[in-house]
């Protein structure tokens, strides 16, 4: 009589602990090597203002940018280089001077941010943006 040994077949098991460890290392690696980029476009819808502060502008620099991107300083046409020079002269003379910025609604936001950047580089950080009038004609400008 032959005796058979009862050997059980071992079922194959998949150990998932090392798999989870590898996945965690990969996730950590991808998070650390990922590049965080700033948005290149400002997605803005400029609203009208129904109420605003006073519009006193004595001594303020009044910058106007029309829909074509033409620049005006205190109602006189000026080039981009001329505006930068005038802003730096004004900033050196009086850094507390305010800039009143009136921009046409069809002007690209890039032009608006460029003019604001020039003002800040010149040391003029108090920038007021003039808004368009509401339907009832109530607003003149708002602080920024």
Q: Domain limits at 95?
A: 61-143
| Angle at CA of residue 108, ends 107 and 112, nearest 5° | 85
Residue 33 lies in a domain: no
Query: Which string of b and e fits 99-114 if b means at least 16 CB within 10 Å?
Result: bbbbbeeebeeebbeb
pLDDT at 17: 93
Residue 106 lies in a domain: yes
Residue 118 lies in a domain: yes
pLDDT at 57: 52
pLDDT at 2: 62
Start-to-end CA span in the chain (Å): 101
Residue 47 lies in a domain: no
Q: What is the mean pLDDT of residues 59-67?
A: 80
Beta pairing class for 99-103 and 61-65: parallel
R_g of the chain computed on alpha carbons: 32
SS3 99: strand
Residue 96 lies in a domain: yes
Number of structural domains found in the chain: 1
Residue 85 lies in a domain: yes
pLDDT in tens, 94-107: 888 888 888 887 88
Q: Where are the alpha helices (DSSP H) in 5-129?
A: 17-33, 80-93, 109-121
CATH at residue 118: 3.30.420.270
DSSP state, 86? H
Residue 100 lies in a domain: yes
């Amino acid at each position: 009589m032959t005796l058979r040994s009862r050997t059980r077949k071992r079922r194959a098991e998949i150990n998932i602990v090392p798999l989870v460890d590898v996945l965690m290392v990969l996730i950590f690696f991808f998070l650390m090597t990922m590049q965080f980029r700033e948005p290149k476009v400002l997605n803005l819808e400029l609203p009208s203002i129904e109420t605003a502060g006073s519009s006193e502008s004595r001594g303020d620099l009044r910058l106007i940018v029309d829909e074509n991107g033409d620049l005006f300083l205190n109602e006189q046409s000026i080039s981009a280089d001329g505006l930068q020079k005038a802003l730096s002269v004004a900033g050196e003379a009086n850094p507390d001077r305010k800039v009143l910025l009136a921009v046409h609604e069809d002007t690209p936001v890039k032009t608006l941010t460029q003019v604001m950047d020039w003002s800040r580089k010149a040391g003029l950080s108090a920038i007021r943006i003039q808004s368009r009038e509401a339907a009832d004609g109530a607003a003149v400008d708002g602080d920024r």
